[in-house]
Chains A and B, each alone.
Chain A
Amino acid sequence: MTVLRTLNLVRIYQNGGVPVPAVRGVDFTVEAGEFVAIMGPSGSGKSTLVHMLGGLDQRTSGEIWLDGKRVDTLSESAWAVLRRRKIGFVFQFYNLVTNMTVADNVELPALLAGMSSREARERREYLLGELGLTERAYAAPAELSGGEQQRVALARALANGPRLLLADEPTGNLDSRNTRDVLKLLGEVHGNGQTVVVVTHDAKVASKADRVVTLSDGMIVDDASMRRRRFPPGSAGDVVELHG
């Protein structure tokens, strides 16, 4: 079943009257349960694309379909409702609500999506636990490090059990240990059927995906299924052979 489809999607910015194409005709389909990574050089249109998919940027032309419904023609308020119900979005800059605790930041989208307060609390406890943030639940976002804020942003995006998780560089500010926690959670929700589309530079994130789509100059230049190797390496000693 197709969750997301774009047809000849185009975004052209105006820079002092000069048209600057950021996305130049993208046809792209994501099936339910797929984990797709979008890679490409900076300026290749990755962030613009994922922002349009989440209704955070307006397309210039083309179509976006979510769950069989055309959404690129929706008003901003209709998009807001759609995001509340169906889409989790992890921004490059975390956009947490500064005067609410971490716990409330994570529970809010669950409550808005119609969960009971008990369900929302359980969901929040699970997500914060997976991300090693249980002890930070009652802190304010400003008291957290950048890496912690980014993980809270991921927890918040997953709180309403979204149909589609969109993420823009979700490990951009994380050290290797925190990256591992984020990867583990992404792997886990993906294992439970979560559809994920993530823009990333981080090959560790991309290596978790079923598909890696590469953009160049606003167009898709590669769309690769990541098949598992038949004989994965057995121990760290093999790394020396792999990469020596």
Chain B
Amino acid sequence: MRLPLLALLAKEPAHGYELKQALEQTFGNAYPSPNIGQIYVTLGRLEKDGLVRAVDVEQSNRPNKKVYFLTADGREALETWVDEPTEGPRVRDEFFMKLVLAPLTGIADRMALINRQRRHYLSLMRDLTELAERTDPGDRVALLLIEGATLHLQADLDWLERCQEDLVS
């Protein structure tokens, strides 16, 4: 949450509620709607770290509101984030542990583990397929997120197949 907020503030200073709205507008359905408390807590931490500063703006008939803007340090942190390659998700090594250790435990054989895992992935895939069908075709961000999840799942299934070929025979 920290860096997306910095990115929004790089465009223009804003108060907490505006940031919530901007996040919703940008990501549509693709991200769970952030709660306003979470946003204020994050802004407080960013302020403490010197990445944003707040100024009180007087409002008639209402309490002052805090408008946040990006500091030079904040911009630097944002640039570092944007410039860095991002770690990809890792192989699901907990399942792999189970699979490799299965013959030692005597609790389940490998084929049974692989079959159960495949069924699980396929039911996740079914959820994603249904979700893609229900998603507004104009919501590119949401559809790309779903497609990303789909491709990861396909890779998990392909890898499961490789495990099946090499460990079960």
Contact = CB atoms under 8 A, between A and B. Distances in A.
Given A203-B154, A237-B32, A240-B145, A232 B168 contact: no
A237 B33 contact: yes
B126 A207 contact: yes
B8 to A, nearest CB: 18
Nearest to A37: B122
B150 interface: yes
A241 B118 CA distance: 19
B131 A243 contact: no
A236 B125 contact: no
Interface in A173-191: 176, 180, 183-184
A226 interface: yes
Interface stretch (B44-52, B96-104, B157-165): B157-165
Interface in B97-156: 111, 115, 118-119, 121-133, 135, 139, 142-143, 145-147, 149-150, 152-154
Given A214-B115, A221-B115, A240-B145, A233 B126 contact: no
Question: Chain B interface: which size bin?
Answer: 35 or more
A222 B119 CA distance: 9
B29 interface: yes
A184 B129 CA distance: 10
Contacts of B162: 41
B31 interface: yes
Contact of A203 (B29, B143, B157): B157
B86 interface: no
Contact of A40 (B29, B121, B132, B161): B161
**Interface secondary structure of B, over-half rule:** helix
B30 interface: yes
Interface string A198-226: 00011110111000101011000110101
Given A41-B161, A203-B157, A239 B128 contact: yes
A229 B129 CA distance: 13
Interface residues of A, number: 36
Given A207-B122, A229-B123, A235-B29, A216 B164 contact: yes
A242 interface: yes
Contacts of A217: 169
A228 B126 contact: yes
Contact of B30 (A202, A226, A237): A237
Contacts of A202: 154
Interface in A128-169: none
Contacts of B31: 237, 240
A171 B84 CA distance: 36
A206 B125 contact: yes
A232 B127 contact: yes
B18 to A, nearest CB: 20
A203 B122 contact: yes
B149 A222 contact: no
A243 B26 CA distance: 21
B123 A226 contact: yes
Interface of B: 28-33, 111, 115, 118-119, 121-133, 135, 139, 142-143, 145-147, 149-150, 152-154, 157-158, 161-162, 164-165, 168-169
Given A212-B119, A239-B146, 15 more contacts: A41-B162, A183-B129, A204-B125, A204-B154, A207-B128, A212-B122, A216-B164, A216-B165, A229-B126, A232-B127, A235-B135, A236-B145, A238-B131, A242-B124, A243-B152
18 contacts: A206-B125, A207-B129, A212-B118, A212-B119, A212-B122, A216-B168, A221-B115, A222-B115, A222-B119, A224-B118, A227-B123, A235-B29, A235-B135, A237-B30, A237-B31, A237-B33, A239-B149, A243-B149
